[in-house]
Amino acid sequence: MYITHMRSESDKIYAALNEFFKISREANLPAEIYHLKINNTWNWNKIDTVLAKIDSAQKAGLKITADMYTYNASGTSLTARLPTWIQEGGAPAMRKRLKNPTIRKKLLQDLELGIPTRNSDPKDVMLIGFRKDSLNALYKGKRLNEVARLHKKSANETMLDLIVADKSGIAAIFFLISEENVQRMLALPYVSICSDAGSIPAEEPFLKDATHPRTYGSFARLLGKYIRDEKIMTLEEGIRRMTSLPASNLKLKKRGSIALGYYADVVVFDLATVRDRATFEEPHQYAEGMIHVFVNGTQVLNNGNHTGAMPGRCIRGPGWKK
- pLDDT digits over 11-45, tens only? 999 999 999 999 999 999 999 999 999 999 999 99
Do both 106 and 246 map to the same domain?
no
> 191 and 53, same structural domain?
yes
195/161 Cα distance (integer angstroms): 32
- 64 in the same domain as 181: yes
The reply to whether 78 and 206 lie within a common domain is no
pLDDT of residue 317: 85
- Looking at the fold, whether 17 and 150 belong to one and the same domain comes out as no
Which of 145, 174, 203 is the endpoint of a domain?
174
Clarify whether residues 121 and 200 are in a common domain: no
270 within some domain: no
* 76 pLDDT more than 70: yes
Domain boundary among 233, 255, 277: 255
Could you read off the pLDDT of 207-259 as tens digits, one per residue? Answer: 988 999 999 999 999 999 999 999 999 999 999 999 999 999 999 999 999 99
Average of pLDDT values for 292-300?
A: 97
Please determine, for residue 119, whether its predicted confidence score (pLDDT) is greater than 80.
Answer: yes
Residues 100 and 248 in one domain: no
> pLDDT category, 284, cuts 50, 70, 90?
very high
Quick check: 57 pLDDT over 80?
Answer: yes
- Asked if residue 57 and residue 203 are part of one domain, the reply reads yes
194 lies in the same domain as 156: no
Of 174, 189, 221, which residue constitutes the final position of a domain?
174
Q: Are 222 and 70 in contact (CB under 8 A)?
A: yes
Domain that holds residue 224: 2-70+176-255
Task: Tell me the mean pLDDT in the region 74-80.
Answer: 95
pLDDT for the residue numbered 159: 98
Distance CA 10, CA 90 (A): 24
pLDDT at position 180 is 98
Domain tally, the chain: 2
User: What integer is the mean pLDDT of 284-296?
Assistant: 97
Q: Do 124 and 251 belong together in one domain?
A: no
Query: Does residue 93 form part of some domain?
Result: yes
227 within domain boundaries:
yes
| pLDDT of 322 strictly over 70 | no
Task: Tell me the angle at which helices 47-59 and 13-27 cross, rounded to the nearest 10 degrees.
Answer: 10
Residue 283 lies in a domain: no
- Quick one: pLDDT at residue 321? 79
Backbone angles phi, psi at 64, to 5 degrees: -110, 130
| Residue environment code for 232-249, b if the CB has 16+ CB neighbours within 10 A, otherwise e | bbeeeebbbbbbbbbbeb
In a domain, 317, yes or no: no
Does 98 map to a domain? Answer: yes
* Burial of 148 from C-beta contacts in 10 A (0-12 / 13-18 / 19+): buried
Would you call 111 helix, strand, or coil by DSSP? helix
> Is there a single domain that holds both residue 159 and residue 92?
yes
Q: What is the pLDDT of residue 96?
A: 97
**Considering the chain, what percentage of its residues have pLDDT values greater than 90?**
96
Classify residue 9: in a domain, yes or no.
Answer: yes
Please measure the distance between the N-terminal and C-terminal CA atoms of the chain and give it in whole angstroms. 19
**Are β-strands 290-295 and 298-302 bridged in parallel, bridged antiparallel, or unpaired?**
antiparallel
**306 backbone dihedrals φ, ψ, rounded to 5°:** -70, 135
Q: Is the pLDDT of residue 158 over 80?
A: yes
Structure confidence at residue 320 as a pLDDT band (50, 70, 90) = confident
Same domain for 79 and 59, yes or no, is no
Asked, for residue 134, whether it belongs to a domain, the answer is yes
E strands, 40-138, in order:
64-68, 74-77, 125-129
Give the mean model confidence (pLDDT) for residues 139-152.
96
Average pLDDT, the chain: 96
CATH number of residue 65's parent domain: 3.20.20.140
